[in-house]
Amino acid sequence: MMLLGCTAAPRPPVARPTVTHVNVVEDARGQGVCRRTDGESLASDLPLVEVMRQAVNPSLSRISWLLFHDSRAADDDARSQQLARAAHDLARCFTLLPKRAPARGERTEFELLSIIQAHNASALADAALQNDVVSQRHWYLHIKETCQSCHEQFRFGAARERGDIGWDTESAHSSSF
Ligand code: HEC
C-alpha cells in the first residue's frame, strides 16, 4: 500500500476552553452506528457501495464545505461543533467499515485502511474542537489521500478487475453494520 509520509500524531487532548461539552454529547450520540448527514442511521445490511454513497461521500462534502467555504470565523463555536460532529460521524463509519471488508482477497489491507481513516477523521474532530485550523487542513488531506489509496486498490485496482477481490459471495451481506 502507499504509505503516507507524515508521522504527525494527533495532539494529546488539551483543555478545550470554549467547547468542552461537545465531545461528551457527540460521543454519546449513536455509538456503533454509521449515520447519514441528516442523522439517519444506515441499515445494517447495506452494501459497501451504499455506505459510500449515502454516508461517507456526503460527510466528506460537508466537512470540506465547513473547512473551505463556510463564511464563519475559523474559531466560531458553532462551526467547530459542526465540523467535529461531521468528522466524528465519518470516523464512526470507518470504524465499522472492516465489517464490510471484501469477501475475497486482501481483507487485512482493507481493514488497515479503514482504521487509518477512522484515525484521520478522529484527529480532524479533535483539531476542530481545539480550533486549530492548520491541523484541520492537515488531517483533511490525509483523509482524502486515504479515500484515494483504498479506491486505487479496492474500487479500481487490477486485482479487482481480475476478480481476485470481491464482495459478491454469500457472506457478503451477512455481517451487520
Ligand atoms: C477502506 C476502503 C475505502 C476507503 C477508505 C474509502 N472508500 Fe469509497 N469505496 C470503496 C470501495 C471498495 C468502493 C466500491 C464499492 C463497489 O462498487 O462495490 C467505494 C466506492 C465509493 C464511491 C462510489 C459510490 C457509487 O455511487 O458508486 C464513492 C463516492 C466513495 N467511495 C467515496 C469515498 C470517500 C469520499 C472516501 C473518503 C472519505 C472513501 N470513499 C473512502 C472503499 C473505500
Beta-strand ranges (E) seen in the chain are none
Q: What is the pLDDT of residue 85?
A: 94
| Residue the block writes with cell 470481491 | 166
- The answer, yes or no, to whether residue 37 has pLDDT greater than 70, is yes
Q: What is the pLDDT of residue 43?
A: 87
Q: Which atom of ligand 1 is closest in space to residue 117's alpha carbon?
A: 5
- The grid cell for 13 is 487532548
- The grid cell for 163 is 476478480
Distance of CA 163 to the CA centre of its chain: 27
Residue 44 near residue 127 (C-beta atoms within 8 A): no
CA dist 73 and 95 (Å) reads: 30
pLDDT cut 70: percent of the chain above it: 77
Ligand 1 centroid to residue 13 C-alpha, Å? 30
Interior angle at CA 61, CA 56 and CA 62, nearest 5: 100
Q: Which residue has the higher pLDDT, 3 or 91?
A: 91
Residue 45 near residue 177 (C-beta atoms within 8 A): yes
pLDDT classification of 73: cutoffs 50, 70, 90: very high
- The answer, yes or no, to whether residue 80 has pLDDT greater than 90, is yes
Residues with CB under 6 A from ligand 1: 48-49, 52-53, 56-57, 60, 97, 110, 113-114, 117, 143, 146-147, 150-151, 154-155, 167
Ranking 22-26, 93-97, 131-135 by mean pLDDT, the lowest is: 22-26
Does the domain at residues 43-166 carry the CATH identifier 2.70.170.10?
no
Q: What is the pLDDT of residue 13?
A: 54
CA dist 100 and 74 (Å) reads: 35
pLDDT classification of 11: cutoffs 50, 70, 90: low
Model confidence pLDDT, tens digit, residues 116-175: 999 999 999 999 999 999 999 999 999 999 999 999 999 998 898 898 998 875 444 444
Distance of CA 126 to the CA centre of its chain: 13
Listed residue (55, 111, 14) closest to 63, CA to CA: 55
| Mean pLDDT, range 32-48, rounded to an integer | 89
Q: How far apart are the first and last CA of the chain?
A: 25
- For the chain, percent helix, then strand, then coil, each to nearest 5? 60, 0, 35
